[in-house]
C-alpha cells in the first residue's frame, strides 16, 4: 500500500513539475498529505475500524458505546481505541523529547513527566476497557 501511495505521489509531483505553475513547497505538501493519509489509515486499522465494520454492524443491540462481548466492537469503542493509540504515541514522543539534551533541564523534566503520565493514562483506559469487556 505504501508503494502504491508513493508512486501516486511521485506521479502528481511529476505532473506539477511539468506544469511549472507550482513551486517546490507544494511538492513537499503533497508528499506530506500522502504520508498523513497513510498514517490515518494505519491508525484506523489499529484502532479496530475493520472489526467494527465486519462485526459491530451485525449486532442487533441498542446503541451502546461499548458492547460487553469481547468479539464485537462498536464505533464508539473504535474512537476510544484510536484516542488511546494517539495518546500513547504522543507520550512516547514526549519521552523521546525529554531524553534529549535541551538548554533547560526544566523543559526536559516536563517532557518526561508528560510522557510518563500520558502512558499511564493510556494504559489505565485500555485496561479498564478490557476489564469491562471481559
Q: Summarize pLDDT for 52-67 with one digit per residue, the tens.
A: 777 766 666 666 777 7
Distances (CA, A) of 63 to 57, 71, 110: 11, 16, 40
Domain boundaries, the chain: 1-47, 62-134
Residue 29 CA from chain centroid, whole number? 19
Measure the CA–CA gap between 93 and 39, rounded to whole angstroms.
16
pLDDT at 53: 78
pLDDT average per 10 residues of sequence, the chain (134 residues): 74 69 59 82 87 71 72 83 94 91 83 94 92 82
Measure the CA–CA gap between 78 and 85, rounded to whole angstroms.
10
pLDDT at 1: 67
Amino acid at each position: 500500500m505504501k508503494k502504491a501511495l508513493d508512486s501516486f505521489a511521485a506521479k502528481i509531483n511529476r505532473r506539477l513539475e511539468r506544469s511549472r505553475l507550482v513551486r517546490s513547497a507544494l511538492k513537499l505538501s503533497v508528499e506530506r498529505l500522502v504520508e498523513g493519509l497513510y498514517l490515518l489509515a494505519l491508525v484506523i486499522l489499529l484502532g479496530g475500524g475493520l472489526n467494527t465494520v465486519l462485526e459491530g454492524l451485525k449486532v442487533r443491540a441498542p446503541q451502546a458505546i461499548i458492547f460487553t462481548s469481547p468479539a464485537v466492537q462498536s464505533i464508539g469503542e473504535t474512537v476510544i481505541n484510536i484516542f488511546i493509540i494517539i495518546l500513547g504515541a504522543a507520550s512516547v514522543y514526549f519521552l523521546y523529547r525529554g531524553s534529549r539534551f535541551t538548554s533547560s533541564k526544566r523543559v526536559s523534566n516536563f517532557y518526561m513527566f508528560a510522557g510518563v503520565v500520558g502512558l499511564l493514562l493510556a494504559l489505565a483506559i485500555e485496561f479498564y476497557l478490557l476489564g469491562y469487556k471481559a
